[in-house]
Amino acid sequence: MNEVLRQEKKFLISVEQMYQCSQYLQETMIQDPHNGAEGYTVRSLYFDTLENRDFMEKEDGVELRRKIRLRCYQPADDFAMLEMKQKQGAMQKKRSLRMKRDDARRLAQCDYKVLLCYDEEFARECYALMNMYCYLPRAVVEYRRKAFIARENKIRVTFDHQIKATESNMDIFSSQLVQNPVLNPYLTVFEVKYNGFLLSYIKDLLQICDRSELSVSKYCLGRSVSTHYNF
């Protein structure tokens, strides 16, 4: 089980700004080894309660909240990462557990007892929460991510674009997943994740973007139409 505690800043910028910032970062940071010309694919299955509590708490800006997701990177992957993100004031805590492909598929089919096959305490916590609050698979969100890393201060900068989603097929390993765009294709979610303080050249980058900080949730983008309709 991996655990990360950090601060996150999110901005909505144009694709043109993304390319400009990427050019700047190539000279100051290390590219994620998985980066291609347009980054790499991230695909996440998000779970939520019967009452869509996690969605509503995010929309309402509740101070302490969580979201649970199952993440892979390619349909052919032999594993997926079960992740829980918890908002705690200015900090975000993320814990993750690597699951076998077959176990991840069982989890996506609401067979939560598969978590009891793992020795980690985090697995047992997820089992208890997902049963207690009746978590269900809600949406699959996929996007292209370009990432840069700084060794100092554990800084990670990401650009997420081509964001699309589906609420009709929860198989994150499907090679024929039909999804629809949920964000203007000319926009990008720009995130800065760090511990402690930001280095000066990262602060300069935020000024280049010239955008006010926003609360952008890819899960909420994937759920916004149907969930607002239901409520």
Kindly report, residue by residue over 2-48, the tens digit of the pLDDT. Answer: 888 888 888 889 999 999 889 888 888 999 989 987 899 999 999 99
CB–CB of 202/228 below 8 Å?
A: no
**pLDDT at 231 exceeding the cut of 50:** no
**pLDDT at 150 exceeding the cut of 80:** yes
Backbone phi, psi, residue 27, to 5°: -95, -10
**pLDDT at 154 exceeding the cut of 60:** yes
At 226 the pLDDT is: 54
Confidence of residue 216 (pLDDT cuts 50, 70, 90): confident
Residue 165 CA to residue 113 CA, distance in Å, equals 27
Q: What is the pLDDT of residues 201-215, one digit of tens each?
A: 888 877 766 666 677
At 210 the pLDDT is: 63
Work out whether strand 187-194 and strand 155-166 pair parallel, antiparallel, or are unpaired.
antiparallel
At 228 the pLDDT is: 41
pTM of the model: 0.92
Q: For residue 183, which of 167, 210, 160 has the smallest C-alpha distance?
A: 160
CB–CB of 69/219 below 8 Å?
A: yes
For the chain, percent of residues with pLDDT exceeding 90: 64
Q: What is the pLDDT of residues 75-129, one digit of tens each?
A: 999 999 999 999 887 789 999 999 999 999 999 999 999 999 999 999 999 999 9
What is the average pLDDT score of the chain?
89
